[in-house]
Amino acid sequence: MPTLHLFRSNLLILFVGLPFVSAETQVAFQLGQSLLAIAAQKELPPEPLDTSGLDTGLQKILHAYYEKSLGGKVNWGNTDTLLIKGSIRLNSGETLQFKNYRKKPDLNKTILYLPEDHEIIQAYNGTTAWEWFTFESPDPKELSTEQSIDFIRDACFGSHLLYPGLPGKVMAYLATELIDGKSVHKLRVSLPNGQVVLFGINAQGYQIFEETESTVDGSLRRTLQSDFKIISGVAIPFTSQTFVDGELIQEVSIESAEFNTGVYTWMFSM
């Protein structure tokens, strides 16, 4: 926790095969909207760390992840917002400063600071994914359907290893592999809309990689995470590298991460 997606193909946040349903249905099946829909129906949403019904081995891996990466049930329950500041180095060699704002369950906003006081902004406010290039337009605009599907998937607070009991979600243990001489558990998460996310969890319970496929162009994104630091009980990867179809696209360095301060719902408005 958390994977920070900042690559811009057509922009900041990229990205298996989706079932043949309408675009509106695909977007509506994203994690956050599913939880909000459950809340609107006054039904109890699934517990974020409840692994009931899963294979015993998978439960053990997830429990280690929840304890080591999230600080356990009580700590995670007391966590509501996250403000990240840092820099991103693009494959062009250019380095830009950014801020990333997050609020449960899936509000997400990233601002990239460009020369001449320009900004690139992408956000999800719980219903709409939007973007704003201040050097191109005086107003923000909604992302395309394909971009929205990927952006909303990546907007969740924490990761898709949470909420194992979400209706339509399937989690599975695939294998334990040696990466750089160390054991890594590989997990597969199939989301309600058919998208698939692969995770690598090391022996310390940290998420060291994530793989997804782009709805926009089918490209494969792999993010490697390292330099973990415990902030308010949560493991934050202060360094990450993102590869698209094997090519290094970006390197992110986090300078600071703060929980439960400086983030408010109005910040995500379009």
Distance between alpha carbon 254 and the CA centroid of its chain, in Å?
15
Q: How far is CA 142 from CA 22, 110, 122, 269, in A?
A: 18, 15, 9, 12
Within 13 A of 177's CA, how many CA atoms are on the CB side? Answer: 12
Q: Give start and end residues of each alpha helix (H) in the chain.
A: 23-28, 31-40, 56-70, 72-77, 145-154
| pLDDT (0 to 100) of residue 12 | 42
Question: CATH for 23-268, among 2.50.20.10, 3.30.830.10, 3.40.50.1220, 2.40.50.140?
Answer: 2.50.20.10
Label residue 214 by pLDDT band (50, 70, 90).
Answer: confident
Percent of the chain beyond pLDDT 90?
67
Residue 85 CB contacts under 8 Å (≥ 6 apart), including other chains = 97, 98, 99, 100, 254, 255, 256, 257
Which amino acid appears at position 15 of this protein? F
Q: The whole model's pTM is what?
A: 0.86
- Cβ atoms of 88 and 112 closer than 8 Å: yes
Residue 23 CB contacts under 8 Å (≥ 6 apart), including other chains = 145, 149
What's the whole-number mean pLDDT along residues 151-157? 87
Question: Using CA atoms, how far apart are residues 172 and 56, in angstroms rounded to an integer?
Answer: 11
Domain map of the chain by residue range? 23-268
Task: State the DSSP H helix or E strand holding residue 246, giving kind and residue range, or none if neither.
Answer: none
- Taking all residues of the chain, what is their mean pLDDT, rounded to a whole number? 86
| pLDDT (0 to 100) of residue 202 | 93
Please count the other Cβ atoms lying within 10 Å of the Cβ belonging to residue 109. Answer: 20
Q: Beta strand pairing status for 207-213 and 107-113?
A: unpaired
Residue 125 CB contacts under 8 Å (≥ 6 apart), including other chains = 107, 268, 269, 270
Cα angle 267-229-75, degrees, rounded to a multiple of 5? 65
Q: pLDDT tens digits, residue range 76-99? A: 999 999 999 999 999 889 999 999
2 upstream amide cis, omega within 30 of 0: yes
Task: State the DSSP H helix or E strand holding residue 87, giving kind and residue range, or none if neither.
Answer: strand 81-90
105 upstream amide cis, omega within 30 of 0: yes
Q: pLDDT tens digits, residue range 187-211? A: 999 998 888 999 999 988 999 999 9
Q: Which residue has the tokens 């590298």?
A: 241
Structure tokens at 53: 């019904």
- Cβ atoms of 162 and 149 closer than 8 Å: no
| pLDDT (0 to 100) of residue 213 | 87
Question: Using CA atoms, how far apart are residues 144 and 251, in angstroms rounded to an integer?
Answer: 26
- Cβ atoms of 153 and 212 closer than 8 Å: yes
